[in-house]
Amino acid sequence: MARHDSPAHRTNVSTLRERPHADVLIVGGGINGIATFRELALQGVDVALVERGDFVSGASSASSHMVHGGVRYLENGELRLVREAVQERNRLLRNAPHYVAPLQTTIPIFKTFAGVLAAPFRLLVTHGRGKPSERGALLIKIGLLMYDTFSRGGGRVPRHRFHGRDRSLRQLPRLNPRIKYTATYYDASMHDPERLALDVLQDGLAAGRERAAGAEATARAANYVSAAGFADGAALLRDKTSGEEFPFTARVIINTSGPWTDETNTLLGRPSHYMGGTKGSHIVLDHPELLDATGGREMFFEHSDGRIVLIYPLKDRVLVGTTDIDADPSEPAICTDAEVEYFFELIPHVFPNIAVDRSHIVYTFSGIRPLPKHDDTAPGFVSRDYRIEHGWLGAVRSLSLVGGKWTTFRALGEHLADETLALLGAPRVVSTRATAIGGGAGFPRDAAARKVWLARHRGAHDPELMSLLLTRYGTLATTVLAALPEQPTPLAHVPGYFVEELAHLAATEQVQHLDDVLLRRTSIAFVGGLTREALTEVAAAVAPALGWSAAEQRREVERAAALLREAHRVGLDGPGLLP
């Protein structure tokens, strides 16, 4: 159905249609495409980005909410990737402190020498084709020593610590008493990955406006626009809200479609066979007892077969993940009963006296990692590194991204941008290594600085409201606050959110559907508890900004309810996993 196609609402598409050319066209608006967009925009390149769904609604929406170096990748011999990831973790702690914070992580260990022989054999002889096995204390100690070494020179987190059974149980009394040791180290949490990605996108758009100096913006981005083909030297773009198609030319086309990279290349007329992704699923539990047992730490547990489960306190909920299963990107990624049972079987190995069942589940999500084709390599040992494939679309240069992970998005975007700049014959003029991201600029880093910042910026608004917005948006809270009256209207069925706040997001962040608000502009769906009344209330809040009629509001409510039911297996009648 053609909807929301008024020029006022789809200005982002109009800017592409009315000037259908850029030096660079990026196809794919996940975190890596968005990061590349920001990098190029900051260099003054005329760049456009299109995403066939909502921004960060594909693989990037299914992360474990962590920024980490990947200590277990050391076993694969991916030293370059781990070093880069640790460095990027430290940069994100500096540049995006509003969304990225140190995360204490504890590994319960049940054996001392397990895996010491298997790991190098798998690395040097079978190249990841062997069966995963449990890692013991000695192997974990070696890995964490290497991990600490990579953190030197700008490290932002403490070094790891090992504790014996007695001390471990004093600190975490609900832990399995069969443990021999615990290893505790730090990575980082990313409590709102979708909002972090939107900040990166807005930084790129702002750079394009500033460099245009009154002329047309040199950085443009549109969601719900797909690449539908390639002919006569131009990509054919389709506005998925109106159905309109139009040609768009560029000197370089970058394919950052993640798991769908091969599909996009096929649509553009140059089929490829680069990808071989794996599915990762998560469940979100409303379980105060389990939340308390974690002591505020992520529990990183390895089963006897080498499989891993994360038990992670987040937003007063407990996130449990993740699986690693070969998957077909042409099929919907949904958390299955088998995956849920896998989590339920492993949680008791960490906390044996805490009962968890399907009634505790308030949300599930699943995505396909954009990994390279890996033949018979075990999914858990497929390289998490990335590479860039060069090609041609007629006379147009093309680049295809294979791989990539959330933690390294800035470095990956820098790499892709540098290869693009080389093709354009343009210099790099700005480094982003120390550049704050969005609401991370000027973010107060301790309680005293926070108090000063709140006093300076809250104006006549309630200090608790401003504190909430600072946590939610970083220092960009000031722009949200400017859209709110002195006494904003609270949502009756969605505690902590306000009518004017959601209307502002809808008006300024390219919202097209109700689920864009529920799943990506906010954490409303993630924490669970949604009812039909809540959906109706949120739809009414954003309707004026989006020009929705009463009938369109009802359709959006039904669309969101169906998506929650079918893709996330949650209903509107209370917690619990749907069949």
- Rounded mean pLDDT of the chain? 90
75: confidence class by pLDDT, cuts 50, 70, 90: low
Half-sphere exposure of 37 (CA within 13 A, CB side): 34
Q: Give me the CATH topology for the region 11-59+194-273+384-424.
A: FAD/NAD(P)-binding domain (3.50.50)
Give the range among 43-52, 189-198, 294-303 with minimum mean pLDDT.
294-303
Mean pLDDT of 275-295: 95
Whole-prediction pTM:
0.93
Give the pLDDT confidence score for residue 116 in this predicted structure: 40
Mark out the alpha helices in 355-496 (DSSP H runs).
409-424, 447-457, 463-473, 477-482
Helices (runs of H) and strands (runs of E) counted in the chain: 18, 18
Report pLDDT digits (tens) over 502-543: 999 999 999 999 999 999 999 999 999 999 999 999 999 999
Report pLDDT digits (tens) over 397-439: 999 999 999 999 999 999 999 999 999 999 999 999 999 999 9
Report pLDDT digits (tens) over 245-259: 999 999 999 999 999
- Residue 517 Cα to chain centre, angstroms: 16
Give the pLDDT confidence score for residue 132 in this predicted structure: 53
More confident residue, 131 or 466: 466
Identify whether the C-beta of residue 372 lies closer than 8 Å to the C-beta of residue 387. Answer: yes
- The residues spanned by each domain of the chain are 11-59+194-273+384-424, 78-189+277-379, 483-567
Give the pLDDT confidence score for residue 460 in this predicted structure: 86
277: confidence class by pLDDT, cuts 50, 70, 90: confident
CB-based burial label for 305 (10 Å; 0-12, 13-18, 19+): exposed
Q: Determine the residue type at 472.
A: R
Mean pLDDT of 466-492: 96
Give the pLDDT confidence score for residue 378 in this predicted structure: 61
Report pLDDT digits (tens) over 86-109: 899 999 999 999 999 999 999 998
Mark out the alpha helices in 105-183 (DSSP H runs).
118-121, 137-151, 165-171
Residue burial 550-573, b: 16+ Cβ < 10 Å; e: rest: eebbebbbeebbebbeebbbbbbe
- Percentage of the chain beyond pLDDT 90 is 75
Biggest CA–CA distance in the chain, Å, is 71
Give the range among 222-226, 274-278, 424-428, 434-438 with minimum mean pLDDT.
274-278
Distance separating alpha carbons of residues 34 and 21, to the nearest angstrom: 19
Distance separating alpha carbons of residues 218 and 234, to the nearest angstrom: 19
Residue range 78-189+277-379 in CATH 3.30.9.10: yes
* 11-59+194-273+384-424 and 78-189+277-379 in the same fold: no
Report pLDDT digits (tens) over 345-392: 999 999 999 999 999 999 999 999 998 886 666 665 567 789 999 999
